[in-house]
Structure 1
Amino acid sequence: MTLLWDADPGATERYDFAVGAITRFETQATMVRALEDNPTELLVLIGPDVDMDAACQFAELCRVERPELGVILLRRRIDVAVLGQALRAGIREVITSDDVTGLADAARRSRDLSTRVHGHAGESGGVGAKTARVVTVFSAKGGVGKTTFATNLSAYLASTGSRVLLIDLDLAFGDVGISLQMLPQNSIIDLVSMAGNIDEQAIKAVVTKHDSGLEAISAPAEPSDADRVPGTTVAELVRVAKRHYDYVILDTPPAFTSHVLAAFDDSDLLILIATLDIPAVKNLRLTLDTLDLLGNKKESRLVVLNRSDAKVGLRPEDVVAAIKQDIAVMVPNSTAVPASVNRGVPIILDEPKHAVSVALRDLADRFIRVPDAPTGAADAPGTSQQSPKASRWSLSRGGNR
């Protein structure tokens, strides 16, 4: 999302073709408040009718408080004096207001620079250093419980006070929404038109919030829309989401699609699920071989055996012998799991002492949760010790209001 400071109501439509989705603010004060509420915003446009001195004052403070933020100034006429004043204030680009192509190029250059500055700050341990832990739940065979694992793990992590985003990448037949009895108004298909400009505001526009606190991006309502979502959009979505959440959980289809491969590339942990049946074990073995060919690190993989105590003629040790890898967690079989799915309530929250819940919680605590993750589940509502966010911006005290 690009923030625009311009009193003209028609400005949004005039410039959104060049820079993507725009939120317009009429005064300096409202713009400042928007930046306080969006600490990761990377691009601001200042309209041609904003006073030059006010625009430069704003840019000077942005340069100090938010060095990664790019400011582009639009003017009806550009001369040497305007360019000099803008340069001294730290404005990155000055573009004539009717040059849509020039604005698009300037916005792209500014975003590229902001991303590099933001990334450098993260590597240095400054603002933006913390990114989400990305976990992909996968099996090359359907019906093994991927969505049940993804929804329960997400709900549990959210219940601890963490910000969790669950993305349904089974784009044709995803069941995240129905498993949690959510009624999404939007889905991942709505992000396709924002490709190249996906940001926190775009994500907020398509998520559906669950009672547990987790946020979910659903698969398209129509299976035919699956082919309209490119793998590059998934990669961009995950990359942006990592900056705004503690955990990003990816539910997947039982196939190596371009979307799944994009998820693998960005994942810190792959949870590979199998059950005690020959097709599932065979597909798990093929999955491990494929991951080796893709150069995926073995230490980032976790094999989980679902319905591990089912009496079907195979034993867990048979699975280990077949895949030549240890099983990290075994989750027992129980009719309580489909019953919880039918109610739309994750069993890990509905029946926390159930053996399945204990196993899933063990999986999350041992392999997913990071040492400095929030522990909000232990705190009663209203007892948070977090201090209110204090604004560092002094800009709102003066200037064009």
Structure 2
Amino acid sequence: MVTASPSARYSTYHAAMPEGPGTAPVIRVLIADQIAHIVEDLAKLADFSDQVDVCGIARHDDDVIEEARLRRPDVLLVSSAMGGADAATLAAQLADAAPGAKILFVTPPGVEDGVAAPEIGETVAPSTTGAELVAAIRRAHGVDAQEPAVAAEPEEPMQEIIPRRPRRAGRTRGEIFLVYSGKGGVGKSMIATNLAVGLSIDTGARVALVDLDLQYGDAGVMMQVDKHLTSIEDLAQHGEVVDPEVLQEVLATGPASVRVLLAPASPELADLVTTANLRAILRELGKTHDYIVVDAPAHLEERTLEVIEQADQILVVTAFNVTAVKSTRVALKLFQSLGVEMDRIAIVLNQSRQKVTFARGDIEQLLRFRVLVQLPFDTRVDESIDHGQPLVMSEPRSEMSKQFRALVDYLTPDAAETDRAHADDRARVPASRRRFSLGRRQS
């Protein structure tokens, strides 16, 4: 039986539209909504990149007008709840900020009457499908939705692997490595825990692991510290100032002396941890650790975005299945819309099942990203998780462990030259935070 490549299988997600050179340019769209809805819209539009380009996003009321003025989109896809004003007033403000742009309001069922007006134009429901949304965007832009004439675009360049630079001389803040996946079940937490332990073993560095999956985190089980009595919830009351002594008491000590900040014991406690609180925690961890590995949840929310801003490297985990690759493609597009530098992103491909039906090269072509590390299938992974013993320790000679060492080598180009046996009284000051541009990337 012949199995199609992911590119061929992925094409089944596309609506039946003609391909080939045409005359109409790609429509530039700015999305203004809550982050969860932005991610949903990006997923819907991911299959229509030959017709629609998301040129920017706005997550907060205060950003909508400014982003419209900066990005000058063809169509604004705006939640009717944005802007802090009625739809007609917001439409007038947007028209002034981005003359010529068409506005398409996303309106929940039951409130259309308060939004629909001749000066506002068409509205769409949040439940609109990808094909329906693209058709509405094309109508708003004044293009026939039924017979699109799509302009031929040059192929997006492949993002090659860019070697990391050694740590800046005199840098005193620990580096943050974020492990993220747009889809659950691809081995993200396994990768985060093995990476943390591998960093400690291979470099002798001081390593912390933060379980940011605040509702259903598994780092405690995987590191055999799930019986530890304190977690990140115990730091929540400290707000923007975290006592370093209290932080040290809250941290558990896992394999290879990795310090672990556990997720709350119960899902309902997740909301106690604010973005400001997380920022303070990362700041304090950076003073006493060389590397902080953050295991992020599969869904995007404000706390994850905070770590994206601060991260020195973002490891995006994907797998040999169509849905995982599709989610990864959406995540990469979102990072691009946020203005995240592409050299801060690396792809880790995990073979989580024994047989795969397509090749690594197919995934690279679809993502337009080279894979940094491919982790092989290993039946011992589940056993290592059950025993709370990361595979890099229990099976150090395995091919899996070899690939983790390659990942550590990539992340720590200065490990051979840097003395990591720091004195306890070493002076440390927090470095300024990198801020991403929230879609203000210059074209």
Equivalent residues of 2:275, 2:302 under 8 A apart: yes
SS across alignment from 1:273? strand
Name the CA shift for 1:243/1:336 in 2 (closer, same or farther; >3 Å): same
Q: 1:164 aligns with which of 207, 210, 213?
A: 207
Q: What's the CA shift for 1:202? A: 2.6
Structure ranking higher on relative contact order (CA contacts 8 Å, 6+ apart): 2
Q: 2:181 aligns with which of 134, 139, 154?
A: 139
Equivalent residues of 1:303, 1:326 under 8 A apart: yes
**Is residue 2:192 matched to residue 1:150?**
yes
> Using the alignment, how far apart are the partners of 2:375 and 2:396 within structure 1?
14
Q: 2:281 aligns with which of 237, 259, 264?
A: 237
**Is residue 2:377 matched to residue 1:333?**
yes
Name the CA shift for 1:279/1:234 in 2 (closer, same or farther; >3 Å): same
Name the CA shift for 1:168/1:373 in 2 (closer, same or farther; >3 Å): farther
- Opposite residue 143 of structure 1, the aligned amino acid is G
> Using the alignment, how far apart are the partners of 1:371 and 1:187 within structure 2?
30
Q: Which residue of 2 aligns with 1:186?
A: 230
Name the CA shift for 1:131/1:192 in 2 (closer, same or farther; >3 Å): same
Q: Which residue of 2 aligns with 1:70?
A: none
- Opposite residue 131 of structure 1, the aligned amino acid is R
Equivalent residues of 2:186, 2:352 under 8 A apart: no
| CA RMSD between the two structures | 2.4
The C-alpha deviation readout for 1:97-117, integer Å capped at 9, x for no partner, is xxxxxxxxxxxxxxxxxxxxx
- Opposite residue 282 of structure 1, the aligned amino acid is K
> Using the alignment, how far apart are the partners of 1:357 and 1:307 within structure 2?
14
The C-alpha deviation readout for 1:174-221, integer Å capped at 9, x for no partner, is 000011111221110111111122142131021001131100000000
Name the CA shift for 1:344/1:375 in 2 (closer, same or farther; >3 Å): farther
Q: What's the CA shift for 1:372? A: 5.8
Q: Which residue of 2 aligns with 1:106?
A: none
- Opposite residue 204 of structure 2, the aligned amino acid is G
Equivalent residues of 1:200, 1:244 under 8 A apart: no
> Using the alignment, how far apart are the partners of 2:169 and 2:243 within structure 1?
22
Query: Unpaired runs of 5+ in structure 2?
Result: 1-167, 427-443
> Using the alignment, how far apart are the partners of 2:283 and 2:380 within structure 1?
36
- Opposite residue 134 of structure 1, the aligned amino acid is I
> Using the alignment, how far apart are the partners of 2:353 and 2:169 within structure 1?
46
Q: What's the CA shift for 1:232? A: 1.7
Q: Which residue of 1 aligns with 2:361?
A: 317
Higher helix share: 1
Q: 1:130 aligns with which of 161, 167, 172?
A: 172
Paired residues in the alignment total: 258
SS across alignment from 1:212? helix
Q: Which residue of 2 aligns with 1:112?
A: none
Aligned positions of 1:202-217 closer than 5 A: 202-217=246-261
Aligned positions of 1:258-337 closer than 5 A: 258-307=302-351, 310-337=354-381
Query: Unpaired runs of 5+ in structure 1?
Result: 1-123, 377-383, 391-401
- Opposite residue 316 of structure 2, the aligned amino acid is L
Aligned positions of 1:12-161 closer than 5 A: 129-159=171-201, 160-161=203-204
> Using the alignment, how far apart are the partners of 2:414 and 2:197 within structure 1?
16
**Is residue 2:270 matched to residue 1:222?**
no
**Is residue 2:435 matched to residue 1:360?**
no
> Using the alignment, how far apart are the partners of 1:139 and 1:337 within structure 2?
19
**Is residue 2:231 matched to residue 1:196?**
no
Give the TM-score of the pair, scaled to structure 1.
0.61
- Opposite residue 191 of structure 2, the aligned amino acid is F
Give the TM-score of the pair, scaled to structure 2.
0.55
> Using the alignment, how far apart are the partners of 1:367 and 1:311 within structure 2?
29
SS across alignment from 1:221? coil
Aligned positions of 1:346-357 closer than 5 A: 346-357=390-401
